[in-house]
Amino acid sequence: MRILFASSEAYSLVKTGGLADVSASLPAALRRRRQDVRLVLPGYPEACRNLVDATPRPGPDNAPWQLLEGRLPGTRVPVYLIDWPEYFQRAGNPYSASNGMDWPDNAQRFAGFARAIVALARDEAGLDWTPELIHLNDWQTGLVPLLLDPERTGIERPRTVFTIHNLAYQGLFPASTLQELNLPADLWHPEALEFHDQLSFMKAALVFADAITTVSPTYAREIQEPASGMGLDGVLRARAADLHGILNGVDYRDWDPARDRHIAARYSADDLAGKAANKAALQTRLGLEPDPDIPLLGHVGRMVEQKGVDLLHAACTPLLEAGRIQLALVGSGQKDLEHATGALARAYPGRVGVHIGYDEPLAHQIEAGADLFLMPSRFEPCGLNQLYSLRYGTPPVVHATGGLADTVVDATPDHLDAGTATGFSFSPDSVAALGGALERALGLYAARGDGRWEQLMRTGMARDFGWNASADAYLALYREQLPRRSRRAKAASAL
Ligand code: ADP
Ligand code: GLC
């Protein structure tokens, strides 16, 4: 099948979070299934630099952009970067300037990206290739289904699948943006583009895409409820028949302690010896007291409300005060949370090691060197770090929500006896509940002479969250979207 996969980030071209991991590893998995999948991304400076075999190509006649064609590093996935200097050639990250403020022209930038995707889909750039299906991701690509809406264009169009990676980011802009972007005025109503008097890119996709997916079965259910639907639960309920929860996979070529290039010592379930060397290396790197026995708790993530860093601080403070744990953190985001994290490190020198910023190798080193991984997210569409930590023998402590609930088996006495436990989960998302889960975890760790801790590690390490099952699920969904005529014709020609 010819699939155009559109995303605003993809590892290792450009990454701010899990969307980049998925936008690289899912296309690669589809490619391994012999699908003709190609990736399209905005041509940010970093992406242009990292593209393999980069070759410029003209865009459509009179378009303000050109293409940079190449390959995703380490894969055979073809990539088209939309090289639109006015919109994408800037320092800072894909969505915001270095001072953390969103780019003021994000509506124009990502409407431009959407129009470029549509132009590619219609082969206006002369690639001699058109997709049968476009897989869109998050609000940055949200206008594409609308722009391709058949009643409006009157031409045969590719089918669209839209994946919600995070409903908290909706691409909301002032009402006047509708006109500025030349979008149809008759779509200005709550059943289409209007969201409480704002223009919503996310809603455009939820209304017009042929199918909608999100990144775990539990999150797919949660977002249809008012409590987690971020104001869009009604729209999602209306489309319940077309909404599917497909769990993200892990690319174990990048995230496996047996072959990880970033860590001090490699190890696996068959030989756990290297884990201690990684703990010692992490303690050294982050200025923690060298101590093989003290439980070292790790955290990696964007520092935003969603991730519950404030809960983590509050629940860990008494444990730090009592000298019972060490903490290793890497992350960046909201300034208040960054400052609070820095303050915690200053209050407990040698016990809290922090790096504020984005550091891919350090993320791997924390997964490998910590004894426990903390993920007290208030909500979590899927979450990848807990999946990585399972493979690294670092049992996760998670709030039982979204993808965290779908992937971590709580170490209850029953699950421990049955040998199915892989981590610790708690609910509700309170300091007390997190504190309770930490006590259970520290208790089991302290009693590790009885073998149950090692069993917990090994059970998690053996779980397979690779892409096989999920890539098959996406492929089956893509096939269902193709027009009936062509499906029947294919079936007939196969006879
Ligand atoms: P989200 O997409 O909500 O940020 P995920 O758990 O799905 O959460 O994915 C986060 C990804 O981003 C992981 O690959 C994680 O290692 C990475 N990451 C997040 N923050 C940092 C950071 N400060 N340094 C390095 N990697 C980070
Ligand atoms: C989002 C979500 C995260 C998910 C990732 C990739 O950023 O917050 O839970 O794992 O996208 O789908």
Ramachandran category for residue 59: left, alpha or beta (phi over 0 → left; psi -120 to 50 → alpha)? beta
**DSSP secondary structure, 374-401, as one string:** EE--S--SS-SHHHHHHHTT--EEEES-
Ramachandran category for residue 182: left, alpha or beta (phi over 0 → left; psi -120 to 50 → alpha)? left
Q: What is the mean pLDDT of residues 268-286?
A: 97
Q: Is the pLDDT of residue 337 over 90?
A: yes
Q: Using pLDDT thresholds of 50, 70 and 90, give the confidence band for residue 2.
A: very high
Residue nearest to atom 12 of ligand 2 (CA): 165
User: Which tokens is 125 given?
Assistant: 């750039």
Q: Is the pLDDT of residue 150 over 90?
A: no
DSSP state of 40: E
* Order of all β-strands in the sheet with 296-303: 352-356, 326-333, 296-303, 372-375, 396-399, 424-426
What's the confidence (pLDDT) of residue 100?
81
Q: Is 12 exposed, middle or buried (0-12, 13-18, 19+ CB in 10 A)?
A: middle
Residue nearest to atom 12 of ligand 1 (CA): 17
How far apart are the C-alpha atoms of 354 and 341, rounded to whole Å? 7
Measure Cα distances from 327 to 278, 366, 374, 403 in Å. 15, 10, 10, 24
CA 160 to chain centre: 20
What's the confidence (pLDDT) of residue 491?
55
Q: What is the mean pLDDT of residues 177-190?
A: 96
Structural domains of the chain ordered from first start: 2-249+468-493 (3.40.50.2000), 274-464 (3.40.50.2000)
Residue nearest to atom 21 of ligand 1 (CA): 301
Q: Using pLDDT thresholds of 50, 70 and 90, give the confidence band for residue 495.
A: low
Q: Is the pLDDT of residue 21 over 70?
A: yes
3-state SS assignment for residue 239 = coil
Determine contact, residues 365/394, Cβ cutoff 8 Å: no
Residue nearest to atom 22 of ligand 1 (CA): 358
What's the confidence (pLDDT) of residue 492?
54
Determine contact, residues 164/215, Cβ cutoff 8 Å: yes
What's the 164 CA to ligand 2 centre distance in angstroms?
9
What's the confidence (pLDDT) of residue 92?
85
3-state SS assignment for residue 96 = strand
User: Which tokens is 104 given?
Assistant: 């003021």
Residue nearest to atom 1 of ligand 2 (CA): 165
What's the confidence (pLDDT) of residue 154?
78
Alpha helices in 254-332 (DSSP H): 274-285, 309-321
Q: What is the mean pLDDT of residues 186-198?
A: 96
User: What amino acid is encoded at 475 in this protein?
Assistant: L
User: Which tokens is 24 given?
Assistant: 């690289």
Q: Using pLDDT thresholds of 50, 70 and 90, give the confidence band for residue 75.
A: very high
End-to-end CA distance of the chain: 19
Determine contact, residues 221/380, Cβ cutoff 8 Å: no
Number of the ligand 1 atom closest to the C-alpha atom of 16: 12
Q: What is the mean pLDDT of residues 308-323?
A: 98
3-state SS assignment for residue 67 = strand
pLDDT in tens, 77-126: 999 999 999 999 999 899 999 888 999 999 999 999 999 999 999 999 99
Instruction: Report yes or no on whether pTM surpasses 0.85.
Output: yes
Q: What is the mean pLDDT of residues 133-141?
A: 98
Whole-number percent of the chain with pLDDT over 90: 94
Whole-number percent of the chain with pLDDT over 70: 98
pLDDT in tens, 341-354: 999 999 999 999 99
Determine contact, residues 308/399, Cβ cutoff 8 Å: yes
Q: Is the pLDDT of residue 485 over 70?
A: no
| Mean pLDDT estimate for the chain | 96
What's the confidence (pLDDT) of residue 98?
84
Q: What is the mean pLDDT of residues 417-437?
A: 98
- Does residue 338's CB lie within 6 angstroms of at least one atom of ligand 1? no
Alpha helices in 298-377 (DSSP H): 309-321, 335-347, 360-369
Tokens 């390959």 -> residue? 71
What's the 363 CA to ligand 1 centre distance in angstroms?
8
- Strands 36-42 and 2-6 turn out to be parallel
What's the confidence (pLDDT) of residue 153?
75
What's the 384 CA to ligand 1 centre distance in angstroms?
8
For residue 299, give the nearest of 291, 284, 310 by alpha carbon. Answer: 310
DSSP state of 238: H
Least confident of 237-251, 357-371, 473-487: 473-487
How far apart are the C-alpha atoms of 184 and 121, rounded to whole Å? 21
What's the confidence (pLDDT) of residue 489?
54
What's the confidence (pLDDT) of residue 155?
76
- Does residue 384's CB lie within 6 angstroms of at least one atom of ligand 1? yes
Q: Is the pLDDT of residue 490 over 60?
A: no
